[in-house]
Amino acid sequence: MGSTEDYSVDYSDYYDSNFTTEETFQANPTPTVQLVQFLAVIIYSVTCLLGLVGNGLVITMIIFEMKKSVSIIWFLNLAAADFLFNVFLPLNIAYTALGYHWLFGRGMCKVNSLLLNLNMYTSVFLLTIISLDRYILVVCPVWSQNHRNTKSAWLACLAVWALGFVMSSPSLVFRDTGLVRDHLICFNNFSMSSSPLDRPLGDQVHMAVTLTRFVVGFVLPLSVITVCYVVIIVRLKRNRLAKSKKPMKIIIAIILTFFLCWCPYHVLQLLETQHHSIPESVLKFGLPIVTAVAASNSCMNPVLYVFLGQDFQKFKMTVLSRLASALSEDTVHSMIPRRSFTKPSSMTEKETILS
């Protein structure tokens, strides 16, 4: 366990998504504060359980049971990012359950925040690559057939992890611990000091970090993904290639779920930079909940694989079979009419969505 600060933090100078205002640290917190804290603990706990089990199954099946195709590599890295985050999620559960009292030292305070941001960046970058991959398959099938391979996929994933770590590195610099009414909190100390004189610089750094995270981790990926899938859908409808919509539903559901989980988080993070201009209750009650909801995205993908991989209402397949079916590239075959297999380009068309 790392060392802790020997100074007390004036919370009015710092806002952060992992705890609420000074009212949280009172000996007798209000019922509303207790309710927010309870809901956050429930969301974190369910996320941790489902995330470890679900992503663990996905990783195990891919490593030991499935052929390593390009799409499987994308799914493996998505599951790895989510699983890594869920391994450390019990720290957040304990922190929240103890009324935002951090017991794990300054080093783990930094690592815990790093993993949340790393999970966000790696997931959204991988979803963007998946979208570009499918776009190229549809628009440039011949080029894709000649250049698309597992080695390139692994190199792309390595680049994603490296870029994600770089973008998440502000957590290692600015995350800190400090005392507030006998509670040791884990917070963002953007001014790198407890002195009010350094507050203007801290505000500028806070704004820069938040805007960068919003643009790079949300706006740009969402724009690229939207353009890719609009082109894909238009092209498939025009060429009448799609026979079944199930494989497309899996990918679209993963993307929509990601952005629905993370959108409230980014909105309140932006509002946090202007905290003097908005009601205190918005941040006090909103930030803990939207952070928990954002974290819950790390358990969503395996659930979507199971429910959308096959016809869920028939209940004829085991969970493992559903996972394998959803992850397998063979599901793409149902999206292409059989008559197209006789054409010279059938093998590239056959892979246009999920291969």
| Residue pLDDT, tens place only, 138-193 | 888 888 888 889 999 999 999 999 999 999 999 999 999 988 878 889 988 888 76
The predicted-structure confidence for 14-39, as pLDDT tens digits, reads as follows 344 433 333 334 445 788 888 999 99
What type of residue sits at position 270?
Answer: L
Q: Quick one: pLDDT band at residue 280, thresholds 50, 70, 90? A: confident
Number of other residues whose CB lies within 10 A of the CB of residue 193 = 15
Residue 347 has pLDDT above 60, yes or no: no
Which has the minimum average pLDDT: 88-92, 99-103, 191-195? Answer: 191-195
Give the closest residue to 144 by CA, choosing from 156, 136, 154: 136
Spell out the domains of the chain, with CATH numbers in brackets.
11-349 (1.20.1070.10)
Residue 111 has what pLDDT? 94
3-class state of residue 276 by DSSP: helix
Residue 56 has pLDDT above 90, yes or no: yes
The percent of residues in the chain predicted with pLDDT above 70, rounded, is 74
The predicted-structure confidence for 218-272, as pLDDT tens digits, reads as follows 999 999 999 998 888 888 777 765 554 555 677 788 889 999 999 999 999 999 8
Residue 298 has pLDDT above 60, yes or no: yes
H runs (alpha helix) in the chain: 31-65, 70-97, 105-139, 141-147, 150-168, 170-174, 199-214, 220-239, 246-272, 280-296, 300-309, 319-327, 346-349
Residue 261 has what pLDDT? 94
Q: Are strands 183-188 and 175-180 parallel, antiparallel or unpaired?
A: antiparallel
* Mean per-residue pLDDT, 84-88: 94
Rounded to whole angstroms, how far apart are CA atoms 98 and 11? 18
- Residue 314's alpha-carbon distances to 42, 303, 318, 322, 324, in angstroms, are 31, 16, 11, 12, 17
pTM of the model: 0.79
Q: b/e for 220-241, b at 16 or more Cβ within 10 A?
A: ebbebbeebbeebeeebeeeeb
Residue 120 has what pLDDT? 93
Residue 332 has what pLDDT? 39
Rounded to whole angstroms, how far apart are CA atoms 58 and 83? 10
Is the pLDDT higher at 89 or at 318? 89
Residue 137 has what pLDDT? 87
Which has the minimum average pLDDT: 79-93, 138-152, 281-295, 314-328? Answer: 314-328
Q: Quick one: pLDDT band at residue 319, thresholds 50, 70, 90? A: low
- What average pLDDT does the structure give for the chain? 78
